[in-house]
Amino acid sequence: MADAPMRRTRPFSVTAMPGFATVAAATILCLYAPILVVVAYSFNAGASIQVWEGFSLRWYAVAWDNGAVQDATARSLALAASASAIATTLATMAAVATARGRFRGRTAVYVAINQPLMAPEIVTAVALLIVFAQVKLITGVQGLGYLIAAHAAFCIPFAYLPIRARLKGLDPLLETAAADLYATPWRTFRRITLPLMGPGIAAGAMLAFVISLDDVIITEFVKSAGQDTLPTYMLGQLRRAMTPEINAISTALLGATLVLLTCFFLLTRTRDN
């Protein structure tokens, strides 16, 4: 008897499971419906956050003319830019060391760099608060530098991951060829490695900037009087009363974050291609 023809089995796909589309749609709705409500009511003409009274840009104008919002926004942008620059620089150095270096304990270094991603953020915030309190007590130095250092420390792993991924994807033969042509290690890095790492560095810097710009917990623990950022200012206003002005600020912050994240994913896609 001839062997029975073998059945063709389709590869398993979770999208083909019954009810997958319904569960996915419900999940997306639960995640994004509250955000859409905030965006919609930021254009409400009235002062109510529950009753729609017509379309208006009134609350965007109110937020724009608010001196406290202007100060908090400028401080947030300066803080995010400084922390992102520091974190990206250190993350680039760490990525080169762990991706190209050969030394004992490299895995432990990798784990230590990514520790802020694994530990609860409030634990990091409390630890930074204790350390900075001791430094302030010993040196007597105050200022925004502590907040910049705290944000930079927290943002390092977010910048490190895309940079290291980019570096691991580079062909090491390019660096070997440069060395064969008598290029010094520094010249090889400056003329070959660093330009090729550019998309990863830019993506890491954008991601670190977004993380710093949106951070609340670490900022709330580390900041001193008069150092409110835009997220902590919004938190303080929510403790008093919820107004459509907060919706307008939230929508503007969301828009800025989406622009930066879109750029990040475009750079990542370019890197993968």
What domains lie within the chain, and their CATH numbers? 67-272 (1.10.3720.10)
Residue-level pLDDT at 178: 79
Residue-level pLDDT at 112: 83
Ramachandran bin of 242, using left for φ above 0, alpha for ψ from -120 to 50, beta for the remaining angles = beta
Residue-level pLDDT at 151: 93
Kindly report the average pLDDT of the chain as a whole number: 84
Q: Cα 44 vs. chain centroid, distance in angstroms? A: 30
Does pLDDT of 239 surpass 90? Answer: no
> Quick one: average pLDDT of 172-194?
80
* Position 119, amino acid: A
Specify the higher pLDDT residue, 54 or 242.
54
Q: Tens digits of per-residue pLDDT, 199-209? A: 889 888 988 99
What angle, rounded to 10 degrees, do the helices at 230-240 and 244-272 form? 150
Give the best-scoring range by mean pLDDT among 66-80, 102-116, 246-260.
Answer: 66-80
Q: Tens digits of per-residue pLDDT, 14-28? A: 667 777 788 888 888
Does pLDDT of 110 surpass 70? Answer: yes
**3 state DSSP class of 44:** strand
pLDDT band for position 1 (50/70/90)?
very low
What's the whole-model pTM score?
A: 0.81
Q: Tens digits of per-residue pLDDT, 49-82? A: 777 888 888 888 888 888 888 899 999 999 999 9
Does pLDDT of 4 surpass 80? Answer: no
| DSSP, residue by residue, 53-108 | --B--HHHHHHHH-HHHHHHHHHHHHHHHHHHHHHHHHHHHHHHHHHH---TTHHH
Residue-level pLDDT at 88: 94
Q: Tens digits of per-residue pLDDT, 117-168? A: 888 889 989 999 999 999 988 888 888 889 999 999 999 999 998 898 888 8
Distance CA 229, CA 14 (A): 42
Does pLDDT of 93 surpass 60? Answer: yes
Question: Tokens in use for 55?
Answer: 């379309």
Specify the higher pLDDT residue, 2 or 159.
159
| Among candidate residues 204, 246, 241, 203, the one with its CA nearest the CA of residue 60 | 246
Distance CA 100, CA 257 (A): 33
